[in-house]
Amino acid sequence: MQLKMTEEQSLIVSMVRRFVHEEILPLELSLDPDADEIPAEDFERLTAKTKSMGLFGMDIPPEFGGPDIDLVTRTLLAIEMAQHRAGLYVPCYGVFGGAGLAQLFEATEDQKERYLYPTLAGEKKGFFGLSEPSGGSDPARAIQTTAIQDGDDWIINGGKLWISGADRADYGLVFARTAPDRGRGGVTCFIVDTDTPGFHVRRIVHTLRSARYATELQFEDMRIPSANILGELNKGFAIASDRLTRQRIPYAAGCIGVAIKAHAMALKYVPQRETFGAPLSSRQAIQWMLVDNEIDIRQATWITLEAAAKADRGEPFRKEAAMAKLVATEAGGRVVDRCMQMFGGFGVAKDFPFERWFREMRIRRIGEGPSEVQRHIIAREILGASLR
Amino acid sequence: MRSDKPWLPLEETQLERIGAQLGVFELGDVWGRVLYIGAADARSLFGLRGELERRIGSAARFRFEVNTAYKTRQQELLMVHFAENGRYPELNTELETRGLGRLS
């Protein structure tokens, strides 16, 4: 058992760390504290750099042109890429590229031609439409959007809530109930073009994440061809569930990255800041906060890397991914909160990134399945059938 | 959601009562047509008051909202304006509206 980075991992991690320090942090100084985009010319310049580094599109499978990076290395890089003000939700402002909607890698060739390849080429954008006003943590029961077959088409009615990017998207994955009373076995995933008659972005939903909003969608007699079913009829829940499980690992890694950055800033600040004739670092109250930060970060990091390692080995990792998400989001919140406390007034001012991290980190305990649902998943895994 | 704040004359005396908070504002003509939708972001030296002061003379009236979610609120106001009028306010630049989403 090795608890050490390989030489190759060390090199790649150092390269990304330098990139964040030399390219992202200086650029961020000129942006609004809530910015989630960089100017187009900087985006193009930095994207060219990540391509030359061989790290562009690291979530894209190699057979579709992405670099061949295992999930442990990907997690280590996600931790580095998050270490700046916007890093929690927009690591490096997206200049390392994304995979789009990973479910499309399993699409039919016709669907890939129409949606996946244009997305990978940056010509189309998609959204993921799962959550509804009735809930998002229990999609098997909460999905009330219906799809009723009409010849070779499906008529979709209903709505979605908390959906990111739907107002800017060309298409989306929409989960709808195709077999009433069949729970998780009655949900199907449809690929929906946003210019389909009956597709509406009804309103913007403002949240603590002031850099980017969510949207509420409404579908009125939206006619979708059967050719746009992703995967199999009534098997949409597996698509959603797989996505939620995989997503938990990079989601956890981002929280760890921000916690590391906040902690590093506090470590630099407390020896300089004096109170009552002595530096803050000499106060036991401060020392204990730093110790607790260290432990929180260490625990979250190892748990997340273990989940990634299990996924890389092809072993079941649902329980480990849930633990990583649970521990990293809660630890990240505690670390940022302690750092704010150590920075005093500066901690809550927009001059420093803590207030943005504090707001965004709070969302992390709810997004992608709240802490309570992660505990439920872990309990189900360790108790097995005896829970039911 | 469109802004329902009252229109005020864009004059020095009106601005004296406005704080330096973060927020969004609209500039309009005497007929209530929205000419510009802007934000006083965290880089604005004197927040809403500063942003409006430097625009005296560019419009007849203004209205504002104190709002820490100034960025997404400005985007929302621009998107609502587009949905209702088929175009963005005439004084907003292409850079300010590039990449905005669509409501329907």
* pLDDT at residue A385 in the model: 65
State whether A243 and A222 are in the same domain.
no
Across the interface, whether the CB atoms of B100 and A168 are under 8 A apart is answered: yes
How is residue A348 annotated by DSSP? Answer: H
Residue B103 lies in a domain: no
State whether A132 and A173 are in the same domain.
yes
State whether A226 and A242 are in the same domain.
no
State whether A347 and A221 are in the same domain.
no
Residue B23 lies in a domain: yes
Residue A202 lies in a domain: yes
Beta bridge partners of B66: B23
Residue A98 lies in a domain: yes
pTM: 0.89
Give the SS3 label for residue B55.
Answer: coil
Q: Containing domain of residue A85, as a range?
A: 7-102
State whether A159 and A96 are in the same domain.
no
Residue A107 lies in a domain: no
Across the interface, whether the CB atoms of A201 and B1 are under 8 A apart is answered: no
Residue B99 lies in a domain: no
Beta bridge partners of A150: A153
| Domain end among A177, A208, A230 | A230
Q: What are phi and psi of B68, to 5 degrees?
A: -75, -20
CB neighbours of A361 closer than 8 A, spacing ≥ 6? Answer: A88, A255, A258, A329, A332, A333, A336
Beta strands in chain A (DSSP E): 126-129, 146-150, 153-163, 171-177, 187-193, 199-205, 214-225, 229-230, 274-275, 278-279
The CA distance from A123 to A120, in Å, is 8
The CA distance from A141 to A182, in Å, is 9
Residue B102 lies in a domain: no
* pLDDT at residue A94 in the model: 94
Q: What are phi and psi of A307, to 5 degrees?
A: -60, -45
Q: Does residue A203 belong to the interface with chain B, where contact is any CB pair within 8 Å?
A: yes
Beta strands in chain B (DSSP E): 8-9, 23-28, 34-40, 61-66
Answer yes or no: are the C-beta atoms of A191 and A154 closer than 8 Å. no
Q: What are the tokens at A377?
A: 């998943």
How is residue A311 annotated by DSSP? Answer: H
Which site among B76, B82, B104 would you substitute to test the A interface, given the most A Cβ atoms closer than 10 Å to its Cβ? B104
Q: Containing domain of residue B84, as a range?
A: 8-89
State whether A141 and A204 are in the same domain.
yes
Q: Which residues of chain B lie closer than 8 angstroms to A203, CB-CB?
A: 1, 103
A166-182: buried (b, 16+ CB within 10 Å) or exposed (e) per residue?
bbebebbbbbbbbeeee
| Domain end among A41, A70, A102 | A102
Residue B55 lies in a domain: yes
Domain total for chain B? 1
State whether A98 and A143 are in the same domain.
no
Residue A111 lies in a domain: no
* pLDDT at residue A246 in the model: 80
Q: Which residues of chain A lie closer than 8 angstroms to B73, CB-CB?
A: 206
Give the SS3 label for residue A85.
Answer: coil
Answer yes or no: are the C-beta atoms of A100 and A116 closer than 8 Å. yes
Q: Does residue B76 belong to the interface with chain A, where contact is any CB pair within 8 Å?
A: yes
- Tokens 């909003």: give the residue: A213
**Digit-coded pLDDT (tens) for B38-73:** 999 988 888 999 999 999 999 999 999 999 889 999
Residue A62: CATH number of its domain: 1.10.540.10
Domain total for chain A? 3
The CA distance from B89 to B6, in Å, is 18
A131-142: buried (b, 16+ CB within 10 Å) or exposed (e) per residue?
bbeeebbebeeb
Phi-psi region of A161 (alpha: psi -120 to 50; beta: other; left: phi over 0): beta
Q: Which residues of chain B lie closer than 8 angstroms to A167, CB-CB?
A: 79, 101-103
* pLDDT at residue A384 in the model: 85
C-alpha triplet A12, A246, A202: angle, nearest 5°:
110
Across the interface, whether the CB atoms of A212 and B72 are under 8 A apart is answered: yes
Note down pLDDT in tens along chain A; length 388 residues: 778 999 999 999 999 999 999 999 999 999 999 999 999 999 999 999 999 999 999 888 888 888 889 999 999 999 999 999 999 999 999 999 876 788 888 899 999 999 999 998 888 999 999 999 887 667 677 899 999 999 999 999 999 999 999 999 999 999 999 998 888 889 999 999 999 999 999 998 988 888 889 999 999 999 999 999 999 999 998 887 777 788 899 999 999 999 999 999 999 999 999 999 999 999 999 999 999 999 999 999 999 999 999 999 999 999 999 999 999 999 999 999 999 999 999 999 999 999 999 999 999 999 888 999 999 999 999 998 666 5
Residue A35 lies in a domain: yes
Q: Which of B1, B68, B99 sits opposite A210 (nearest CB)?
A: B68
State whether A245 and A141 are in the same domain.
no
Q: Does residue A205 belong to the interface with chain B, where contact is any CB pair within 8 Å?
A: no
Closest of A208, A190, A210 to residue A198, by C-alpha: A190
Q: Which residues of chain B lie closer than 8 angstroms to A35, CB-CB?
A: 71
Half-sphere exposure at residue A74, Cβ-oriented, CA atoms within 13 angstroms: 27
State whether A242 and A153 are in the same domain.
no
Residue B56: CATH number of its domain: 3.40.1440
Residue B63 lies in a domain: yes
Q: Does residue B43 belong to the interface with chain A, where contact is any CB pair within 8 Å?
A: yes
> Sign of the CA dihedral B20, B24, B29, B30?
negative
In chain A, residues 152-171 whose CB comes closer than 8 Å to chain B: 165-168
State whether A250 and A222 are in the same domain.
no
* Rounded percentage of chain B residues whose pLDDT exceeds 70: 100
Answer yes or no: are the C-beta atoms of A31 and B42 closer than 8 Å. no
Residue A75 lies in a domain: yes
The CA distance from A264 to A177, in Å, is 48
Just list the catalytic residues of A. Answer: 368
State whether A222 and A287 are in the same domain.
no
Q: What are phi and psi of B37, to 5 degrees?
A: -120, 120
State whether A247 and A367 are in the same domain.
yes
Half-sphere exposure at residue A313, Cβ-oriented, CA atoms within 13 angstroms: 9
